[in-house]
Structure 1
Amino acid sequence: MRLKKLMAVACAAALTVTAFAGCSKKNDSSSGSDSKGDAKKEYYNAQPVDTGWEWGNVEIVDGGFIPDVIYNPTEEGLIYARTDMGGAYKYNKDTQRWECITDCFGGDDWNYNGTESLATDPVEPNRVYLAAGTYSTSNGAIFASDDYGKNWTICEMPFGMGGNEVGRGCGERLQVDPNDNSILYFGSRADGLWKSTDYGATWNEVTSFPTKGGYTEDGYSIGLTFVAFDKSSSEKGQATKTIIVGSAGTQGDYLYRSDDAGETWTAIPNPKSEATGDKTEKLKPCQGEISSDGYLYSTWSYKVGPNGASDGAVQKYNLKTGEWTEITPERSYT
């Protein structure tokens, strides 16, 4: 899909909430009129009246889900958070507060306030990307910024995203190639794996990828759950060769690996799990990251949740030997 429009709006309005409550914006002033329509406009845009009261924001220490907090591996203290329906946030290192970076999404764009996934660029930390869509019943979009989320460009996608749907804790589905940061991958819920080679401006489906998932939970399609790069498999400036993508299927193996920068893919056998009674096909991969020493660390769950995730496992995969090691912490129930 091609770039549609530019949203050149400063969106980093500082918040004083600690639980990422909804973002608000202050309206500009305008002159009034006697007509009914203009009077309503005047009401919404009028300058505040001095009543002698002082008003400020109140911290809301409750709210919806914050499915993930994403750290940039290059710039110290650069941290983002995504919410299921309240936008995305950046941590202000100076004020030690969280700031909404999606205040520019107005009422007509309400569906974009659900953040399906967020990617921070490890090569150029000023670049950040959002896969936005609260519900998959409407098409989502991928937003790109090169100034830490102050301004955005939008690429509307031909499928929905589910920032507030079952499986919102999976991820990250959207990732930047750590060796060639013009390349991004996005794992969708029902429409396969997608790739951009121009910093998120245009996207095309990776037709060589063998699955779209197929597993549904509580009526929601889960699809592809995470994308992970092995940075050590390529030189800087070249597309990363080794990529692993997680999927939520109904049978067979759920992880797929490419060692030729996404040209071909092979299935990785599912791990066995002593902690969960070896329910191999019942556990779904939810999150995965590749470490600098050549291991994929992944979490697996009986349900992807957030509801009903009654059992699970943590697994470690050796990229060189192909061996799995279960590292699930010891659990005790009282």
Structure 2
Amino acid sequence: MIGPARGGRVTAIAGVPSQPTTFYFGSTGGGVWKTTDAGANWNNISDGQIPLGSMGAIEVSLSNPSVIYAGTGSSKIRSNVSTGRGMYKSTDAGKTWKFSGLRDVGQISTIRVHPSNPDIAYVAALGNAFVPNVDRGIFKTTDGGKTWTKVLYVSDSTGAADVELQPGNPNVLFASMWHGQRKPWTIVSGAREGGIYKSTDGGEHWTKLGGGLPTDLVGRSNVAISAAEPKRVYALIEAKPGGGVYRSNDEGTTWTLVNGAQTLWTRPFYYTTLGVDPTNADIVYVGNEGWFKSTDGFKTFQTARVPHGDNHDVWINPTNPKIMIQSNDGGANVSLDGGNTWSSQYNQPTAEIYQVALDNQFPYRVYGAQQDNTTVIVPSLPLGTGMADEWRTGPGCETGPIVPNRTNPTIVYGGCKGQFTRMNIISGDEKQYWVGTQSLYGNGGADLIYRFQRVSPMEVSPHEAATVYYGSQYVHRTRDEGVTWDKISPDLTAYPP
């Protein structure tokens, strides 16, 4: 592995209450990782055993922390989605893993294990994110994952986004059902059949909850319950109308919209992150682009500091709420002081790289664009200063592309959805140009003159160093490093709008 050492997107995390410095995370591109020193060092524990990198959920048994369940396929869907391949289980604290069923449930959202019996577990599965299928909903095992029973099913297009057990009574469950689908041209989130369901008999029977909850279009939702007040239930709900943070004081019978600020449910199909302090039910956390904390049950809230934006999950130690792990598009980070300080994300090489290019130096450099970070330039062989210090950023944005000049590797070209940048990586000087006179931002697809995708192709001519090709629905060519551009192809769209 040559780098970068910087972390990538993480949507699954867990901790071990009896081992306060041991944590796990599942990344969307790098498998399962473990730390035993509160995030000072992370080690991959799934390579060669779990056959894909995208993880959707991870849970450690409270009664036997050697038992870990991991679900593949992140349910926090976006433009790039890797379909899951079922459940995996470890009985030796992550040293070895075995397949544990549910091969066709697609994206796995949440796993919850019975607090006193590690053989009883529940899985919330979104299903295949691309097409309708019946392998979605809430699943239960009573034999440690050898067999699974579907205990809650709504339809072939509505899966599960969350399942939670009531502290002190694991026979009481809450599940959030969600119609979420990734189409080639858009993301669908929400339907009238979505919502929150409750079971009082270990998942055998379920009732859809009302009592003040949204009843029209309901999208993704998440549930959180504090052991300090098990009858109080919080829900973060995407809905039109009526999205926001809801609260029930009677185990879900009646609900009140506590705070409907749009800030709390921005881009909900990708976030909808909710957590509550296990010792104080008034302390609640919400994550999306920002990270928010409330000390009065979300009547009011403040922005809290975390290492990176785009926040996906939080786990709080049930015996000591100052010990927590939180995840986002930059990785996973641990706090031992209630979120005042966090561990580094520059020790977990799990970056999602959109594209790769090479130059002709020795050692040659590798160029790529890292999701929700920057472009990166990495030497193919160590230069002697240590991996974390040997990569650097380049031109362009998180989506890239980034390519080097073929004859002068100090000149690098980058892109960002139709913008073109020429950068001298020695001096840092940049020149930026638009291909055409129209920005991608603020214009609908039908109104765009040039439809550059998030990840648009770019190539440098092998014959003329200053000639670069850049693709929208047309092929564009510059012969002067981006100052002027020619359109050299017809519209190549398969089905023009």
TM-score range, shorter chain: 0.5 to 0.7
Q: Secondary structure at 2:237's aligned position in 1?
A: strand
Alignment correspondent of 2:237: 300
The Cα offsets for residues 98-139 of structure 1, whole Å up to 9 and x where unpaired, read as 221212247xx2xx3111211111111121111124698866
- Residue 134 of structure 2 is aligned to residue 204 of structure 1: no
Classify 1:82/1:301 alpha carbon distance in 2 versus 1 (closer, same or farther; 3 Å).
farther
RMSD: 3.2
1:21-170 correspondence runs (5 A) = 60-61=5-6, 63=8, 65-93=9-37, 96-105=40-49, 109=51, 112-133=52-73, 140-162=85-107
Amino acid at match of 1:248: W
Question: Any conservation in 2 of the 1:213–1:224 contact (CA below 8 Å)?
Answer: no
- CA distance in 2 between counterparts of 1:139 and 1:115 reads 8
Amino acid at match of 2:59: A
Amino acid at match of 2:178: A
- Residue 168 of structure 2 is aligned to residue 232 of structure 1: yes
Of stretches 78-87 and 259-268 in structure 1, the one that deviates more from structure 2 is 78-87
* Alpha-carbon offset, residue 96 of structure 1: 2.0
Which structure is richer in relative contact order (CA contacts within 8 A, separation 6 or more)? 1
User: TM-score normalized by structure 2?
Assistant: 0.42
Alignment correspondent of 1:317: 248
Classify 1:62/1:137 alpha carbon distance in 2 versus 1 (closer, same or farther; 3 Å).
closer
- CA distance in 1 between counterparts of 2:251 and 2:176 reads 18
1:11-26 correspondence runs (5 A) = none
Question: Any conservation in 1 of the 2:221–2:235 contact (CA below 8 Å)?
Answer: yes
Classify 1:212/1:99 alpha carbon distance in 2 versus 1 (closer, same or farther; 3 Å).
farther
Classify 1:95/1:231 alpha carbon distance in 2 versus 1 (closer, same or farther; 3 Å).
closer
Question: Any conservation in 2 of the 1:212–1:224 contact (CA below 8 Å)?
Answer: no
Q: Secondary structure at 2:168's aligned position in 1?
A: helix
Classify 1:62/1:73 alpha carbon distance in 2 versus 1 (closer, same or farther; 3 Å).
closer
Gaps of 5+ in 2: 75-79, 128-134, 180-190, 260-297, 303-497
User: TM-score normalized by structure 1?
Assistant: 0.61
- CA distance in 2 between counterparts of 1:74 and 1:156 reads 28
Alignment correspondent of 2:200: 259
Q: Secondary structure at 1:245's aligned position in 2?
A: strand
Alignment correspondent of 2:382: none
Q: Which has the larger radius of gyration?
A: 2
Question: Any conservation in 2 of the 1:174–1:184 contact (CA below 8 Å)?
Answer: yes
Amino acid at match of 2:91: D
The Cα offsets for residues 161-211 of structure 1, whole Å up to 9 and x where unpaired, read as 237xxxxxxx4x2111123321011122232221111122322322xx251
* Alpha-carbon offset, residue 281 of structure 1: 3.2
Question: Any conservation in 1 of the 2:210–2:254 contact (CA below 8 Å)?
Answer: no
- CA distance in 1 between counterparts of 2:15 and 2:39 reads 18
Amino acid at match of 2:54: G
Q: 2:177 aligns with which of 241, 247, 258?
A: 247
Q: Secondary structure at 1:67's aligned position in 2?
A: strand
Q: Secondary structure at 2:21's aligned position in 1?
A: coil
* Alpha-carbon offset, residue 251 of structure 1: 0.9
* Alpha-carbon offset, residue 319 of structure 1: 4.0
Amino acid at match of 1:224: A
Classify 1:247/1:102 alpha carbon distance in 2 versus 1 (closer, same or farther; 3 Å).
same
- Residue 119 of structure 2 is aligned to residue 187 of structure 1: no
Alignment correspondent of 2:285: none
